[in-house]
Structure formats: C-alpha cells, structure tokens
Structure 1
Amino acid sequence: TTAAPRVGAAEDPEAGPARRSLLELAGIQVEDKPKAAPAPRTTHDTAQLERPPLSESAFEDPLPEHVKNAPDPIIATNDDDFFKLIEESVLDAKKEPRPGRDR
C-alpha cells in the first residue's frame, strides 16, 4: 500500500522542496540577499476625467448660514469632572458581564 502524499510535499521527490526560512515567508529580507525590485506602479490617465468647476456645486449646502457662523459653545470643565466620567465608565463596565466569562 502507498501512503497518501503529504500536503505541501513536492511533486518530484528528487527535485526536493523549495526551502524557505520563516523570515522569507514573513516577508522580512535577509541581509545577504538583495531586495527584489518593487513591481512597477500602474498609472491612470486623469486627463480623461471630467470634473465640474469648483464654482458649481452638485448639491446644496444642508447647513443654514446662522449655524455655520455660530461660535462653538464654551464648556466649563475641570479635572474632577473628567475623573468622575472615567470612574463611571469603569463601574459600568464592571457591572456588565462580558461574553465568554462566567461570573
């Protein structure tokens, strides 16, 4: 009886398998071997694309003028508020059971 060939075994046993180091398989170049040249980049002709002029917009601006010109609100905060927010977040996370854990 003949055993089934191993997965990944070479077809021709006399030729031997192509030996590659883990560094080569990971894509890390070895110092004594020169780096392979990168593949040439394909370029696309951008002259063929038709673009509308910037003055013409394809859609209306959804924000009204009074919203765009309104200043940002000033929020008064301090370190205690920040620490309280973090503490609440940690306490909430401890209350909720996490999937895969038995309590």
Structure 2
Amino acid sequence: MEALSARVGLLRLHRDGLIELPPPTWKNGNGRWRPQLTPATDPGAPVVGTRRDLGALTLLRVAGPKDSRLWNELIERYHYLGYTPLPGAQIRYLI
C-alpha cells in the first residue's frame, strides 16, 4: 500500500512539473509482458481419427528456459485467457 501511495505522489509531482520522471518501460498499456508468437506454435494440420490412431503419446516435462518459452507461447496462443505468470511452483508438461 505504501508503494502505491509513493507512486501516486511521484506522479502528481511529475504532472505539476516539480520533478521529471523517466518514460514508462512498459509499452503495451497494461504493464503485462506477452510472449512473442513464433512459427514454432503456428497451427498445424488438423488431427483426424481417434486417439488410438495417433499411437503412443509422450509427456515431456518442461525443463529449462527454451522449453519454458515454448510452453508460455503455446499458452498465450491457445489458452482462452492467454499467458499470465503463475504464482508459486508448477510442474508443466508438453504433450
């Protein structure tokens, strides 16, 4: 709460011309970081048939920054809420 009060006070001083604040670092309006979408997560050909037709499915645990970026991008592209940082520890998988 104190940090919010301090920010409000600084913004008022800036608007009154008493201090100069640097420009905002966030450019998308809401301060939310969004994963950049790459061709790696573009939609592929539709899957036709039953689950048995696909053969064995493999769960890959997301480990390391490369897998994590891919997971975040997939969530951003295909989850109805998009990507948001998850609180706490998680175990994430790719199928």
TM-score, structure 1 normalization? 0.17
Q: Which has more helix, going by share of residues?
A: 2
Of structures 1 and 2, the one scoring higher in RCO (CA 8 A, sep 6+) is 2
The structure with the larger Rg is 1
Decide which structure has greater strand share.
2
TM-score (ref. length: structure 2): 0.18
